[in-house]
A and B are shown apart, each in its own frame.
Chain A
Amino acid sequence: MIEINHVNKWYGPTFQVLKDCTTSVAKGEVVVVCGPSGSGKSTLIKCVNALEPIQGGDIVLDGVKVNDPKTDLPKLRSRVGMVFQHFELFPHLRIIDNLRLAQEKVLGRKSEDATAKGMKLLDRVGLKDHAKKFPAELSGGQQQRVAIARALAMDPIAMLFDEPTSALDPEMISEVLDVMVDLAREGMTMMVVTHEMGFANKVADRVIFMDRGEIVEDAKKADFFGTPRSDRAQKFLSKILQH
């Protein structure tokens, strides 16, 4: 579904953020990407739907080459859902209109169909009663659930999560993770950048560990948590699993 082949990326002429990254996500697979901050994990996931350009290698999404200049990027992006660290709901639109906008303008759905679909997904994330509110009236956890529903409204073939719980107060993290766990169990293809190792342990098929722009470890969940091969992954794990 997602193939990342020898991807290189520089910021400016000298700073290399991604060094020869190669991995893939199969259909229905849940892959968690972790690593210390500045390791390039967020950058990597943003390259998958070309929010960030790459300078070397290529990325293929459901058979379409993402870094081909001829690729219709808006169309490609409309097929992959993305959830951001800071939610990025549109603050000037009501919740239901946040869910309707792209359905109508990108997929050309009729207003009543988009509304029905939006309400169904809001119900699914437990926020049906908040449809008429503005994003600022919701808590962080609620906003992030709306953001997930907004992405799902496009009937995506895969979902990308860029640190979806990092900006949340601790008591709101689980309500967002619950939605993500359900999604994973229903067979959604997911690539998730997160520090939530509990989530990884519960639903991930594979865990990727990145450090300084490199994919240091790419292993099945059991292998990763059992016997990480690299020193750096071992150190990282011991630090975040200490508590």
Chain B
Amino acid sequence: MTMLGNFDFDVIRRALPYLFLEGMRFTLTLTALAAFGGLVFGTLIALMRLSSYKVLGRIAGFYVDFIRSLPLVLVIFWFYFLVPYIGQWVTGASRPITVGAFASSLITFIAFEAAYFSEIMRAGIQSISKGQPAAASALGLTYAQSMRYVVLPQAFRNMLPVLLTQTIVLFQDTSLVYVLSIPDFLGAASKVAQRDGRLVEMYLFAALVYFVVSCVASFGVRRLQSRIAIVR
């Protein structure tokens, strides 16, 4: 009997609503929120690194190096078990506070992505010529206004393809939340696989879905990139 002859497509079909309505929805929500949060905090870290206050720059630099030296899956794991105790210590509560697996993994991903996005935004800000903030200042805009209205929009636009590519990597990385037994897309596929004893079908299907989504997204980014190149 060949492997494919034994392949049960029906097990996939039956699991589809669960895989997508629960699993994929969770994965996409986590990806979107982590990308958004990572971009916001990443931009702040980038501004700190480029700040004329040396101390701020050093703190931000240390944070980025620190985060990038740790395996993500370990941090997800540790964070989930540690946050309740840290929360207890901070709030002075008598018992460890309860933090859901979703909140815990979201915070971890934002913290991680902030480090990566900050390096992208730093490069983006540095790609803007010094004359731009000078012109903004000469018109009377404050530092914050010049960043908000002149520098950051251009930095963001220039870096959009790189930011989106990083988000595709993030989309794949969210599968690591399986260590917390969260039913993200991979977790959901894994659950069905274990329950029905259909490991080959479910893991192959999961791989195919990740591959197709990432590929289509990458293609979209490349098209966007060439469009931006024309506009500039």
Contact = CB atoms under 8 A, between A and B. Distances in A.
A101 interface: yes
A91 to B, nearest CB: 7
B139 A151 contact: yes
A199 interface: no
A150 B154 contact: no
Nearest to B153: A92
Contacts of B139: 77-78, 101-102, 106, 150-151, 154
Given A105-B145, A105-B149, A136-B232, A74 B135 contact: no
Interface in A81-120: 81-82, 84, 86, 88-92, 101-102, 105-107
A102 B153 contact: no
Interface string B142-159: 100100011001100100
A89 to B, nearest CB: 8
Q: Give the contact-size bracket for chain A.
A: 20 to 34
A89 B131 CA distance: 9
A84 B132 CA distance: 10
B141 interface: yes
A82 B137 CA distance: 10
Contact of B140 (A77, A86, A88, A91): A77
Given A78-B140, A154-B139, A88 B154 contact: no
Given A74-B142, A88-B132, A51 B153 contact: no
Interface residues of B, number: 20
A90 B137 CA distance: 12
B213 interface: no
Given A84-B131, A86-B131, A88-B131, A102 B141 contact: yes
A146 B138 CA distance: 15
Contacts of A150: 139
Given A105-B149, A150-B139, A91 B134 contact: no
B140 A102 contact: yes
A49 B138 contact: yes
A74 B140 contact: yes
A101 B149 contact: yes
19 contacts: A51-B134, A51-B137, A74-B140, A74-B141, A74-B142, A78-B140, A79-B140, A86-B129, A89-B135, A90-B132, A90-B135, A92-B153, A92-B154, A101-B149, A102-B136, A102-B140, A106-B145, A150-B139, A154-B139
